[in-house]
Amino acid sequence: MLSVTEGEARERAELLTDIGYDVFLDLAATPARSRTRATFRCRRPGAETFAQLALAATGEVRLNGQPLPPPDDGRVRLPGLAAENVLVADGTIADVGGMDPGLIRFTDPADGAGYVIADGFPDEAARLFCCFDQPSLPCALTLTVQVPPGWHCLGNGEAHDDGDGAWHFGTVTGMRPYLLTVCAGPYQQVWAGSAGRGVVVRAWRRASFPQWDEALGQFAGTAARALRYYERALGTPCP
């Protein structure tokens, strides 16, 4: 997958604005599936740019209703942009080995429980969904994740569980694609506490590690105190 050069990033940042992603990840499927609906504005209608997409297999890619060729080396060319645009893409996500960024599946050897982590940092967001992945293009991210019933799901935004394995996360503004993080599995919460105005810190663990409860509580409590300190020192709460 080609890296974005500094010049390309600067050009895209000057061209695009008001980016929003509606991302659906089906982690209950094997292989996992991804669908993105991205909306954005173009300051120079008629211009061309590119989005990043590096799924294991790409299904459809459409710009303003028109089909586009599949990505080439992780890039989807977007010709003839309108003032307001809708980009839709879907496909399957590759599992990565070890602890590399991307989609990681893990089976706990202690009890056989399954876990999934989806991580876009530092520059692997395109392996999870179609995006403009650079720090100078903030976005609004709305995430929906399907997991096996009975699993808990953690991700960007406040979570709501439909009860059938579908988790809906509130829209997070000021996001960057590489900050997408999803953790799913039979996690158990062991600590929760206030970290300032409207901010709650929670600690979770795998079901097979009850001996971690005290250490996780101490760590989470320290993190919460640190966030409260910075809120006082900087005069603003943690986002």
pLDDT per residue as tens digits for the range 73-88 = 999 999 999 999 999 9
Whether 192 and 149 share a structural domain: no
pLDDT band at 198 (very low <50, low <70, confident <90, very high): confident
pLDDT in tens, 139-155: 999 999 999 999 999 99
The answer to the question of residue 225 being in a domain is yes
d(CA 115, CA 27): 10
The answer to the question of residue 115 being in a domain is no
The answer to the question of residue 7 being in a domain is no
Whether 78 and 27 share a structural domain: yes
pTM of the predicted protein model = 0.92
The answer to the question of residue 67 being in a domain is yes
Whether 191 and 171 share a structural domain: no
pLDDT in tens, 12-52: 999 999 999 999 999 999 999 999 999 999 999 999 999 99
Domain residues for the domain of 209 are 187-239
